[in-house]
Structure 1
Amino acid sequence: MRLTLLNLNFGVKMSVNIVVPPLGESVTEATIAKWHKKEGEFINVDELLVEIETDKVTLEVNAPASGTIGEIKSKEGDLVKVGQLLGTMSEGNSKAAAQPTQAEAPKSAPQSIALSPAYSSDKILSPAANKLAAEKGVDVNQITGSGKDGRITKEDVLFPQQAEAITSGSGDNSNREVRVKMTRLRKTIAQRLKESQNTAAILTTFNEVDMSEAFRIRKLYQEKFQEKHGIKLGFMSFFVKACVAVLKEIPAVNGSIEGDDIIYKNYYDIGVAVGTEQGLVVPVLRDADKLSFAGVEKGIASLGKKARDGKLSMQDMMGGTFSITNGGTYGSLLSTPIINPPQSGILGMHNIVQRPVAVNGNVEIRPMMYVALSYDHRIIDGKEAVTFLVKIKELVENPEKLLFDI
Structure 2
Amino acid sequence: MNRIHRIEDGRRIEGVARPIFIHNVSYHLTNLLVYADGAIHCWEWVDLDGLREKLDAGWVVTEVPEGAEISAFELGRWKAAQPRFGLTAGMLLGEVADDIETLNGRPDSTDRCMAVLDRYLETREEADRRALREAYLAIPEHKRHYALGDMDQKDRPLVYLCTDIGERPIGGWFQDQDEAVTEDMRAWALEYFAERDRVHEEYAKRRPADDPLEPAAGTVHLGGRVFPQGPPEVAGIVALQNEYPAPIRVGTTVYPSVTHAYWALSTADAGVRESIRLASRPSDARKLAEGAERVEGWAGARTAVMAGLLRAKFAQHPELADILLGTRDAPFAYTGMESEHWVTAGEKGRNWVGRLLELIRSEIRAEYADIPVP
> TM-score interval w.r.t. the shorter chain?
under 0.3
Higher strand share: 1
Larger-Rg structure? 2
Higher helix share: 2
